[in-house]
Structure 1
Amino acid sequence: MSNEQFLYCSHEDFVKESVIADRPLLDLIREIQHIYKSDNRPWVVGFSGGKDSTVVLSLIYMALKTLALDDRHKHVYVVSSDTRVETPVVVDMIHEVLGSINSQSPIDEIPMSAHAVTPDTDQTFWSNLLGKGYPAPTKAFRWCTERMKIDPVSEFIKDKVARFGEVVVALGSRRQESSTRAQVIARHRIEGSALGRHSSLQNAYTYMPIEYWSSDDVWEYLMSAPRPWGGSNRVLFELYKGSNAGECPLVIDTNTPSCGNSRFGCWTCTVVTQDKAIEGLVNTGEDWMRPLLEFRNQLHESSLPENKTEYRNYKRRTGKVTFARGAIDDDSSTATRHVPGPYWMKYRKEWLRALLEIERTIRDGGRDLELIGRDELQVIRQQWLKDPNEPDWIDSLPKIYSEVYPHDQIEWIRNDAGAFTAPDAEILGSLELEHGVPAALIMKLIDAELSFSGLSRRKGILDELQKVLEQDWGGLDEALERHSSPRHSDAYKVAFESLKSEVDGLLK
Structure 2
Amino acid sequence: MTSQAKLTKEWLAERYREIQRVYLSDNRPWVVGYSGGKDSTCALQLVWTALGQLAPSLRQKPVHVISSDTLVETPVIVRYIDETLQRIGNAAKRDRLPFNTEKVKPTIDRTFWVNLIGRGYPAPSRRFRWCTERLKIEPADAFIKARVAEFGEVVVVLGVRSSESATRAQVMSLHRIEGSALSRHSSLLNAFVYAPIESFTVDDVWTYLLQNQSPWGNDNRDLVAMYRNAQAGECPLVVDKTTPSCGNSRFGCWVCTVVERDKSMEALIDSGEEWLEPLLEFRDLLSSTQDPERKRQFREFRRRSGQVAFIGDSDTPVPGPYKLEFCKELLHKLLLAQVEVQRRAPAGEAPTLINDAELREIRRLWRLERGDWADTVPKIVKEALGHEIEWITEDSVSFTADDASLLNRICEKHAVPTDLVVQLLDVERSAHGLKRRHAVHTRIEEILRQEWRDLDTLIAERRTQKATEEK
The two structures have a TM-score, normalised by structure 1, of: 0.84
Paired position in structure 2 for 1:152: 139
> 1:393 matched to which residue of 2?
373
Q: 1:105 to 1:464 in 2, by over 3 A?
A: closer
Distance 2:108 2:435 in 1: 37
- Most deviating of 448-457 and 416-425: 448-457
Amino acid corresponding to residue 354 of structure 2 in structure 1: I
Question: Secondary structure of 2:65's partner?
Answer: strand
Q: Structure 1 unaligned segments of length 5 or more: list them.
A: 1-16, 326-333, 488-508
What are the Cα deviations for residues 321-375 of structure 1, in whole angstroms up to 9, with x where unaligned? 23364xxxxxxxx768622211001111111111111111222235321101111
- Name structure 2 gaps, 5 residues minimum: 467-471
- Does the C-alpha gap of structure 1 residues 193 and 467 become closer, same or farther in structure 2, counting only changes over 3 Å? closer
Matched, 1:383 2:365: yes
User: Residue 203 of structure 1: which of 171, 183, 190 is its match?
Assistant: 190
Change (3 A) 1:22 1:68: closer
Given that 1:239 and 1:263 are in contact with CA atoms closer than 8 Å, whether structure 2 keeps it comes out as no
172-181 vs 464-473, which deviates more? 464-473
Counterpart for residue 266 of structure 1: 253
User: Aligned equivalents of 2:219 and 2:304: distance in 1?
Assistant: 50
Q: In the alignment, what sits opposite 1:471?
A: 450
| Alignment partner, residue 374 of structure 1 | 356
Deviation digits for residues 96-131 of structure 1 (CA, Å, limit 9, x no counterpart): 111111111011010110110000000000010000
Q: Is the 8 A contact 1:386 1:417 kept in 2?
A: no
User: Which amino acid in the other structure matches residue 357 of structure 1?
Assistant: L
| Residue 238 of structure 2 corresponds to residue 251 of structure 1 | yes
2:423 to 416, 427, 444: 444
**Deviations along 1:386-418, whole A, 9 cap, x unmatched?**
22xx411100001111112223x3221224565
- Once the two structures are TM-superposed, the CA of residue 313 in structure 1 deviates from its matched residue by 0.5
Matched, 1:410 2:389: yes
1:289-438 matches, cutoff 5 A: 289-323=276-310, 325=312, 338-365=317-344, 366=347, 367-387=349-369, 390-407=370-387, 409-415=388-394, 419-438=398-417
Which protein is bigger by CA-based radius of gyration? Answer: 1
The amino acid across from 2:144 in the alignment is I
Matched-pair contact (CA < 8 Å) for 1:418–1:447 = no
The question of whether the paired residues in 2 share the 8 Å contact of 1:248 and 1:262 is answered with: no
Task: Report the CA distance between 1:203 and its aligned residue.
Answer: 1.2
The letter of the residue matching 2:352 is: E
Instruction: Answer whether contact 1:56 1:172 (CA < 8 A) is retained.
Output: yes
Instruction: Tell me, in whole angstroms, the C-alpha distance in 1 between the residues paired with 2:22 and 2:88.
Output: 22
Q: Which amino acid aligns with 1:392?
A: D
Give 1:70's match in structure 2, choosing from 34, 47, 57: 57
Q: Which residue of the other structure, out of 94, 109, 125, is the alignment partner of 1:122?
A: 109
- Aligned AA for 1:133? G
Letter paired with 1:281: L
CA contact (8 A) 1:21 1:217 kept: no
d(CA) in 1 for partners of 2:110 and 2:200? 35
Change (3 A) 1:110 1:479: same
Task: Return the offset for 1:262.
Answer: 3.6
Change in CA separation of 1:295 and 1:56 when aligned onto 2, cut-off 3 Å = same
2: CA distance, partners of 1:265 / 1:145: 11
Query: How big is each residue's C-alpha offset from its partner over 1:67-87, in whole Å with a ceiling of 9 and x where there is no partner?
Result: 111211211110111000011
- Residue 306 of structure 1: CA displacement? 2.3
What secondary structure is seen at the aligned counterpart in 1 of 2:183? strand
1:223 counterpart SS class? helix
The amino acid across from 2:372 in the alignment is D
For the residues of structure 2 that align with 1:121 and 1:346, how far apart are their CA atoms?
22
Deviates more, 1:253-262 or 1:151-160: 253-262
Report how many aligned residue pairs link the two structures. Answer: 460
Distance 2:172 2:398 in 1: 56
Q: Distance in 1 between matches of 2:325 and 2:223?
A: 40
Alignment of 1:233 with 2:215, yes or no, is no
Match of 1:504 in 2: none
| Post-superposition offset of 1:293 | 0.8
Contact 2:397 2:432 in 1 (8 A): no
Query: In structure 2, how many angstroms separate the alpha carbons of the residues matched to 1:453 and 1:284?
Result: 57
Corresponding residue for residue 208 of structure 2: 221
Letter in 2 for 1:344: K
Q: TM-score, normalised by structure 2?
A: 0.91
- The equivalent of 1:26 in structure 2 is 13
Q: Distance in 2 between matches of 1:299 and 1:149?
A: 20
Percent identity between matched residues is 49
Cα distance in structure 1, aligned partners of 2:73 and 2:101:
18
Aligned residue number for residue 97 of structure 2: 110
How many Å apart are 1:33 and its aligned residue?
1.1
- Give yes or no for contact 2:154–2:190 (8 Å, CA) kept in 1: yes
